[in-house]
Chain A
Amino acid sequence: MHITIPNDKEIGVEIQATSNISFKDFSDSIVVWANDTSDSETAVRKFYDPPQERTYVMGVSPYTNTTNYPWDVLEFPYAKIVEVDHTHYIVENYVAFSISLAGSSMEFVSSDLEFGFSGGPLYAYFLIPAEYWDILCDVGMLSIYVDGKYWCHMRFFKFWFWESPTGIVLLLGIAIIIAIVVYGLRTRRHDSYGPTNRTHVIPSNA
């Protein structure tokens, strides 16, 4: 194993392993995980004979589920939404994504963050606790490149309750109810004073 640490943010680990039994005798792939103290982790799975696969990035249930955005999204105060190539996912406790890479490399690039997988075809996975949502939102739009060519985008955002159609209807309903109640109270008060209470009293010596 060869370890290099060029700087405080980058660690390189190169592994060369041999087995006295052919790996293919009992296995079809090898998986390398990396996790850190934030409880985030990623894995890369390499097949000895890569299957013919298409390239995709897909949320993993039950942590990151597809949703009919914006119609079925109703969380207070906001829902955690990930958009990947116009497919929307709602995040529960973890941002969990599965990647199938038919090409040789995939890179996720934004102005603040860059990560990727290379040596494909491969499968890759990553898992990030949702408590880092604000940080992910700050990343903004991630452009995804496959073999150096733009493939699609990925973005993390907060979808506030009052932005959703159902939320708007609910808030409008509440506003209308409040308006009706206030109008009713004012009308009742108006009626309770009666017309004589509003007549001017003219002094007798006038």
Chain B
Amino acid sequence: MLDIAQPGGGYRPGGQGTHIEVKNATPLIYLVKIEKHNQTHYKATIWGHRGTEYVGIGDMDGETIPFHGIYTTYTSRRSAARCT
């Protein structure tokens, strides 16, 4: 996950079944989810990228995957930002 944090925020623990939170950290982008697909490949689902990609285990070149999207920011003076 990727988060663009506002000034003044800090760590705070969440509730039970907790996860790390950073105060005033928004917008939050669930950037990439990587799951084991089979013995030779992992499956990657990327924010702002259609479909899924497969990355080979042991492939040192890896995969370059573009992502692109728009998220809403928190301030009144800025309504949206585009991340590419």
Contact = CB atoms under 8 A, between A and B. Distances in A.
Contact of B7 (A2, A18, A27, A61): A27
A63 B65 CA distance: 37
Given A5-B55, A13-B32, A27-B7, A62 B46 contact: no
A45 B20 CA distance: 11
B65 to A, nearest CB: 5
- B: interface residue count bin: 35 or more
B50 interface: no
Given A43-B20, A62-B13, A26 B75 contact: yes
Contact of B62 (A5, A62, A98, A125): A5
Contact of B1 (A2, A33, A63, A98): A33
Interface string B5-44: 1111101010011111010010000011010000000101
A7 interface: yes
B31 A19 contact: no
B5 A28 contact: yes
A23 interface: yes
A30 B5 contact: yes
Contacts, number: 127
Interface in A38-57: 39, 41-43, 45
Interface in A62-77: 62-63
B20 A33 contact: yes
Interface of A: 1-8, 11-13, 15, 17-21, 23, 25-33, 35, 39, 41-43, 45, 60-63, 93-94, 96, 98, 123, 125, 127
Given A26-B73, A30-B2, A32-B1, 18 more contacts: A3-B55, A3-B62, A6-B58, A12-B62, A13-B34, A15-B31, A19-B81, A20-B82, A26-B74, A27-B6, A29-B9, A30-B3, A33-B3, A33-B19, A33-B20, A45-B5, A61-B13, A96-B18
